[in-house]
Amino acid sequence: MNEIKGFVGTSDEDDGSEPPRFDSGSSASSERPARFNGHLLYVHECGNQPKASVEKGDWDRYLFGHEMGDRSRMAYWVNRYRYPYPIVQSADAGGSPPSSETTSLQHPADALEETVSRLCPDGRTRAAKLLKRVGAAILEACGPPRRGKEAESRLEAREYDPRVIYWLRQKFLPELHDYFFDEETRRTAEAAIQERVAVGAGPYVMLAQGMGSIVAYNALRALMEAETEFSFDPDRCRVQVLVTLGSPLGLPAIVKELERRWGDSRKPDLVDEWIDVRNSHVGRVEETVGHAYPVTREAEKPIRAGEDPHSIESYLRSDAVGAIVERHLGMEFCQPVADFRIAKDIAQLAEDAEVGSRHEVLVEFADLDEERAESDQELAGKKQQLEAKLYEIVGEEHRRQAEIAVHRRFVSALLTRAEMERLAAYFKGSNLGWIWRDAPKKTLLHASVKTVQALPARLGYGATGREIAWAVLDTGVDRNHPHFQTYDNLVDQWDCTRNVSAGEEFRDRSDRWDVHGHGTHVAATIAGGLEDVQRQGKPFPIYGMAPETKIYSYKVLADNGNGRDSYIIRALDDIATKNERHGELLIHGVNLSLGGSFDPSVYGCGHSPICRELRRLWRQGVVVCLAAGNEGLLKLDAPGGQIKLNRDLSIADPANLDVAIAVGSSHKANPHTYGVSHFSSRGPTADGRAKPDLVAPGERILSARTMANPASRDVEELYVELSGTSMACPHVSGVLAAFLSQRREFIGYPERVKKILLDNCTDLQRDVYFQGRGMPNLVNMLLHT
Q: Identify the H or E element spanning 534.
A: strand 534-535
pLDDT at 145: 52
Task: Count other Cβ atoms within 10 Å, centred on residue 559.
Answer: 15
pLDDT at 376: 65
Mean pLDDT of 385-399: 88
**Which string of b and e fits 393-403 if b means at least 16 CB within 10 Å?**
bbeeebeeebe
pLDDT at 580: 93
User: Cα separation of 437 and 174, whole Å?
Assistant: 39
pLDDT at 354: 86
User: Cα separation of 428 and 200, whole Å?
Assistant: 11
> SS in 3 state form for 369-391?
CCCCCCCHHHHHHHHHHHHHHHH
Higher pLDDT, 635 or 415: 415
pTM over 0.85: no
Q: Report CA 461 to chain centroid distance, whole Å.
A: 49
pLDDT at 60: 95
Q: Identify the H or E element spanning 429.
A: helix 417-430
pLDDT at 653: 92
By the 8 A CB rule, do 476 and 512 touch?
Answer: yes
Phi, psi of 129 (to 5 degrees): -65, -40
Least reliable range by pLDDT among 9-23, 446-460, 574-588: 9-23
Q: Tell me how far CA of residue 255 lies from CA of 167, 252, 259, 698, in angstroms.
A: 21, 5, 6, 71
Least reliable range by pLDDT among 143-157, 278-292, 575-589, 700-714: 143-157
Mean pLDDT of 444-469: 71
767: pLDDT strictly greater than 90? yes
Q: Where are the beta strands (DSSP E) in 584-728?
A: 589-592, 594-595, 623-627, 633-638, 641-646, 661-666, 694-697, 701-704, 719-722
User: Cα separation of 490 and 488, whole Å?
Assistant: 6
Tens of pLDDT, residue by residue over 78-137, are 998 899 999 876 655 444 555 444 445 567 778 888 888 888 887 678 899 999 898 888
Q: Where are the beta strands (DSSP E) in 260-391?
A: 274-279, 297-301, 359-365
Higher pLDDT, 337 or 305: 337
| % pLDDT > 70, the chain | 82
| Three-state DSSP state, 634 | strand
Percentages (nearest 5) of helix, strand, coil residues in the chain:
40, 20, 45
| % pLDDT > 90, the chain | 54
239: pLDDT strictly greater than 90? yes
Mean pLDDT of 249-260: 93
Mean pLDDT of 676-700: 93
pLDDT at 19: 44
Q: Tell me how far CA of residue 707 lies from CA of 90, 205, 453, in angstroms.
A: 51, 59, 30
Mean pLDDT of 518-530: 95
Band (pLDDT 50/70/90 cuts) for residue 510 is low
Tens of pLDDT, residue by residue over 717-746, are 999 999 999 999 999 999 999 999 999 999
pLDDT at 1: 33
Count how many Cα atoms sit within 13 Å of the Cα of residue 9 in the half-sphere of its side chain. 24
Tens of pLDDT, residue by residue over 131-142, are 989 888 887 776
150: pLDDT strictly greater than 60? no
Q: Report CA 645 to chain centroid distance, whole Å.
A: 27
Higher pLDDT, 394 or 97: 394
